[in-house]
Amino acid sequence: MTAPNTFLWGAATSAFQIEGAAHTGGKGPSIWDDFCRSPGRTAPDADGAITCDHVNRYREDVALMQELNLDAYRFSISWPRVLPTGRGYVNSEGLDFYDKLVDALCDAGIVPCVTLYHWDLPSALQIELGGWENESLPQLFADYATIMYDRLGDRVRYWITLNEPWCSVDGGYFAGVHAPGIRDRARGYLAGHNLMRAHGMAVAAYRASRNNQGAISLALNSSYYFPATDSREDEAAAERGMLDFAGWFGDPIYFGDYPPEMREAYGDLLPAFSDEDARLLQKSIDFLSINYYTSELARHDASVGGMRYRREQFTDRPRTSTNWAIVPEGFRELLVWLDRRYGGLPMYVTENGIALPDHADDAGYVDDPDRVAYLRDHFAAARSAMDAGVNLCGYFVWSLLDNLEWAEGFSKRFGLIRCDFETLTRTIKASGRWYADWIARGGWADNGHGAVLDSSAAGGER
Ligand code: GBH
């Protein structure tokens, strides 16, 4: 893929977190609908039934995107809205919804970027087949993906197969705090393995489809690990941490296998890719897609099984509502690390943002200078990575609007736009206005960081 010559500034969301209409419109249940209904697994208010009611208000939301001057919008498709039981019967009302959304975006001049799987697996596939632990899931995912390529691929040029497989496994199978709520390392590595195989097959299906003119990737997430001390042991531990985090799913989609250090450390816990799997996975991304929120510390610890490091949190940093340390310089380091390891691919930041305890005034307006500062500092860190050679082509803020933060419920607000969950009224926050202005002024161009594009050659503003 050739890098587009226009930088895309966007915002991101996901289906379960904003759509609502969880039990209407012919949609089938997902593992997240089930998880939210299991007593004690989530915050009491965690419920996907209504959330932001985006299914019924998408036109208003697209108009708000225009007010924010967005070039692009990243959203996800709910697999069980399209295929209520995950396979077989197609719910045309669900497919029509995404078709209309893409049309509305195109009419508004906003580039759609589609994620096929942002964690909301059709319940039937979990109950009947055991979910991602079943080796037949990858083919079912590729079949579903093909339905979406066929229906939307004439207008959608940016595709992301899976959002953050690291989170699917860490939350869903290691910690058990996300659906399907399992706590078992071997089962987690197996689920992660089938997620990788699903990505490989879905990319092959894309490249074989009639609508294959766009670019496809997988959204990685990673903290950056700084060594806990400047000892050589901790420096090596931090590098192992990077392989364990970013490399776990980054290496397969670029090299076709897990990092050799992980294979050595985890042995039989990591399943083997067949030659066919490896062939499909190698170079299976046209661009790198990375979601970043925070950085952590790694300390050498031989008593920790596997990769022999201990994760620690920064103690000297301000923290967000989700209790993550704010470390913009780790963002720069992460982008550079990915660029070096994965051959200088074009890169998109597909999520970055902050949850804060917003306070709305009587008119619903939120003045959120800390969100502006977070974004400004992370934009600068990304720009500095570009100065170090990273070919960054776009940046999506998480999130367009306040939404359902998974098991944490509605209290963690990430939006550029406030959503009042009683009235469903949307109000652009100060950060949203700041972002609209940032985009209007050409991003970095007029903000003291130099121009991304040579403005004289491009004939003025972007
Ligand atoms: C993303 O997950 C999701 O894609 C999105 O749906 C979600 O709403 C958004 O972020 C905000 O959470 O947790 O102490 O190990 C990102 C989740 C955040 C997981 C940072 C790893 C590292 C610190 N990641 N986290 S910790």
The predicted model gives 283-298 an average pLDDT of 98
Closest by CA position to 271, among listed 199, 172, 190: 190
pLDDT of 177 strictly over 50: yes
The one-letter amino acid at 293: Y
Which tokens hold the place of 35? 């998880």
pLDDT of 459 strictly over 60: no
Ligand 1 center from residue 293 Cα (angstroms): 7
Is the shortest distance between the CB of 384 and ligand 1 below 6 Å?
no
Residues 381-416: tens digit of each pLDDT? 999 999 999 999 999 999 999 999 999 999 999 999
pLDDT of 1 strictly over 80: no
Best of 78, 167, 419 to mutate for ligand 1, by most ligand atoms within 8 A of CB? 167
Is the shortest distance between the CB of 14 and ligand 1 below 6 Å?
yes
Q: Which residues share a beta bridge with 347?
A: 288, 392
Is the shortest distance between the CB of 221 and ligand 1 below 6 Å?
yes
Q: Exposure of 410 by Cβ count < 10 A (0-12 exposed, 13-18 middle, 19+ buried)?
A: middle
The predicted model gives 415-422 an average pLDDT of 98
**Phi, psi dihedral angles at 401 (to 5 degrees):** -145, 160
Residues 44-102: tens digit of each pLDDT? 999 999 999 999 999 999 999 999 999 999 999 999 999 999 999 999 999 999 999 99
Domain ranges in the chain? 8-440
Q: Give the nearest ligand 1 atom to 414 CA.
A: 11
Q: What is the distance of C-alpha 333 from the center of its chain?
A: 19
Q: Give the nearest ligand 1 atom to 405 CA.
A: 8
Rounded alpha-carbon distances, angstroms, from residue 375 to 354, 398, 440: 8, 10, 16
Q: Give the whole-number percent of the chain exceeding pLDDT 70.
A: 95
3-class state of residue 309 by DSSP: strand
Ligand 1 center from residue 351 Cα (angstroms): 10
pLDDT of 458 strictly over 80: no
Per-residue pLDDT, 444: 85
Neighbours of 141 (CB within 10 A): 28
The predicted model gives 197-206 an average pLDDT of 99
What residues act catalytically? 164, 351
Q: Give the nearest ligand 1 atom to 353 CA.
A: 11
Q: What is the distance of C-alpha 274 from the center of its chain?
A: 27
3-class state of residue 116 by DSSP: strand
CA distance 405 to 121: 17
Is the shortest distance between the CB of 120 and ligand 1 below 6 Å?
no
**Phi, psi dihedral angles at 196 (to 5 degrees):** -65, -45
pLDDT of 372 strictly over 50: yes
Best of 118, 161, 164 to mutate for ligand 1, by most ligand atoms within 8 A of CB? 164
Residues 295-332: tens digit of each pLDDT? 999 999 999 999 999 999 999 999 999 999 999 999 99
CA distance 399 to 406: 14
Per-residue pLDDT, 6: 86
The predicted model gives 150-161 an average pLDDT of 98
CA distance 364 to 80: 34
Per-residue pLDDT, 454: 38
Is the shortest distance between the CB of 398 and ligand 1 below 6 Å?
yes
Best of 17, 293, 396 to mutate for ligand 1, by most ligand atoms within 8 A of CB? 293
pLDDT of 150 strictly over 70: yes
Per-residue pLDDT, 406: 98
CA distance 112 to 399: 15
Ligand 1 center from residue 291 Cα (angstroms): 8
Ligand 1 center from residue 458 Cα (angstroms): 37
Name the average pLDDT for the chain: 95
Residue with tokens 């607000």: 413
Is the shortest distance between the CB of 167 and ligand 1 below 6 Å?
yes
What is the third-level CATH fold of 8-440? TIM Barrel (3.20.20)
Is the shortest distance between the CB of 177 and ligand 1 below 6 Å?
no
Residues 320-366: tens digit of each pLDDT? 999 999 999 999 999 999 999 999 999 999 999 999 999 999 999 99
Residues 93-140: tens digit of each pLDDT? 999 999 999 999 999 999 999 999 999 999 999 999 999 999 999 999
Q: Give the nearest ligand 1 atom to 322 CA.
A: 12
Ligand 1 center from residue 70 Cα (angstroms): 23
Ligand 1 center from residue 335 Cα (angstroms): 17
Best of 222, 291, 309 to mutate for ligand 1, by most ligand atoms within 8 A of CB? 291
Residues 230-286: tens digit of each pLDDT? 999 999 999 999 999 999 999 999 999 999 999 999 999 999 999 999 999 999 999
